[in-house]
Chains A and B, each alone.
Chain A
């Protein structure tokens, strides 16, 4: 019998949906035109790029004009942060972020810190949550910009973005959120959510890699990161990745369909079954991240006495794809900065395991993982000098 294969690393990337791929295909060959060209080939593609912009905008309740397509989530983060810093540097030099940001945000903000800005990196609590109170207390007269992620990729915690954004609005501070993990998985509506900029990535929501977007609220002015031909309203030059953009548009429509069908509820049910099952079957396990304020597809734990990479490879050997924030998977001596920021010890953090579900994950998949994981843990604990015998 062929081994069952269960991919539970959707936080890393998702497969392209068949309907997305189908929508993209014409733009490689038949509809290959440059959307900036005036002839029929170009005009035809321009219509589809405009359509995709409307679709992505509709996912957020935004206006199409507020969507800037980029070469991915990291680029959108860089555009937002460096753009804001450059636009606001005459007004003030203080910038705020959190300790658990993705490196695309954290390293960009730290780079600002090396280039004339004052940076505050906010701590988080044991659940990985930024406190609005701490946030408010960190504001200064010269604070011009803040960026806090919508939901964390490693521990799944969803931040109080509405509250943080409201504080910024009250104080006239530009506010960005990296919603790469959340967009397409949690309903987001910028008509009520007080954010000025928001980052999305197509490949985290069943779209293709190499395309992302920055939502830029009407009236907010930042300079571009990439200068050139003036595409994307002058904010991101370079001939558009037309197939990718069209695929992103389709992925946005499919995400809206899933919200309508209540598919996120199904995902949440399976997530809880997985978390509860792991905690019931394995001792000395710690859930990382918030129990309820978390991404509907995200389960993450630390398993004591063993190391994450060893777990991943043994899971891989039985057909399960997962990830970890252990040092051995990051290529450094330290485990994930997110787990350490939450106050976990190095030893515990080395045993981190992330299982992120997808729209096509079934209950049988979860049952398989719940059967396969305990013997993996047991085997490694039997090998570990810390394992209980």
Chain B
């Protein structure tokens, strides 16, 4: 049911954890529905220099969040916001139909983390 890439990112997830002194944190999903994704980012000069994730959820949710962290690391915030669930799906080689929402969660997680960073900046400005 899962591609080799999904299995790989699920069994050997990259960028697990949370960053001390993160510049932005996005937490999306709903524990009741079985998926919660938390993405923390470090930002320097408008660029994501480091990123970590923590996910409560199934293999697809874990793999989606892990690959998403790789996809935005080193990108500018605007570039990161361009990453869509379609990109996450393609990177994973696809997900079963009933798991597509996991890739959407990754997209939302990235957006929430960037928005959190920007609102913190706006507050301190």
Contact = CB atoms under 8 A, between A and B. Distances in A.
B81 interface: no
A321 to B, nearest CB: 15
A333 B57 contact: no
Contact of A313 (B32, B36, B55, B59): B59
B117 interface: no
A94 interface: no
Interface string B28-50: 00011111111000000000000
Contacts of A309: 58-59
A307 B56 contact: yes
Interface in A320-349: 326-328, 331, 333, 335, 346-347
Given A310-B62, A331-B98, A326 B34 contact: yes
Interface stretch (B9-17, B68-76, B85-93): B9-17
B10 A385 contact: no
Main secondary structure of the interface of B (DSSP, over half): mixed
A307 B61 CA distance: 10
B23 interface: no
A386 B31 contact: yes
Contact of B10 (A310, A333, A350): A310
A332 to B, nearest CB: 8
B54 interface: yes
B67 to A, nearest CB: 14
A312 B11 CA distance: 12
Contacts of B31: 346-347, 350, 386
B69 to A, nearest CB: 12
A385 B11 contact: no
Contact of B54 (A313, A346, A347, A385): A385
Interface residues of A, number: 24
A150 B34 CA distance: 30
A387 B36 CA distance: 12
Interface residues of B, number: 27
A317 interface: yes
B51 to A, nearest CB: 15
Contacts of A333: 33-34
B27 interface: yes
A335 B7 CA distance: 23
A310 B57 contact: yes
A346 B34 contact: yes
Contacts of B59: 309-310, 313
B11 A384 contact: no
Given A313-B10, A383-B16, A327 B56 contact: no
A317 B54 contact: no
A309 B2 CA distance: 12
B11 A383 contact: no
A333 B38 CA distance: 20
Contacts of A176: none
Contact of A350 (B11, B34, B38, B99): B34
Contacts of A305: 56
B103 to A, nearest CB: 14
Interface in A85-144: none
Interface string A346-389: 11001000000000000000000000000000000011111100
A314 interface: yes
Nearest to B6: A313
A306 interface: yes
B8 to A, nearest CB: 11
Contacts of A326: 34, 58
Contact of B33 (A327, A383, A385): A327
Contacts of B13: 383
Nearest to A383: B16
B34 A307 contact: yes
A309 to B, nearest CB: 4
A386 B34 contact: no
24 contacts: A307-B35, A307-B58, A310-B10, A310-B57, A313-B7, A313-B11, A327-B33, A328-B34, A328-B57, A331-B98, A333-B33, A335-B34, A346-B34, A347-B31, A350-B31, A350-B34, A382-B17, A383-B16, A383-B62, A385-B27, A385-B36, A385-B56, A386-B36, A386-B56
Leading 9 A-B pairs by shortest Cβ distance = A328-B58, A309-B58, A385-B54, A346-B32, A385-B38, A350-B34, A384-B56, A347-B31, A327-B34
Interface of A: 305-310, 313-314, 317, 326-328, 331, 333, 335, 346-347, 350, 382-387
Given A310-B62, A385-B56, 20 more contacts: A305-B56, A307-B58, A307-B61, A310-B57, A313-B10, A313-B11, A314-B11, A328-B58, A328-B60, A328-B99, A333-B34, A346-B31, A346-B32, A347-B32, A350-B31, A350-B34, A382-B16, A383-B62, A384-B54, A385-B27
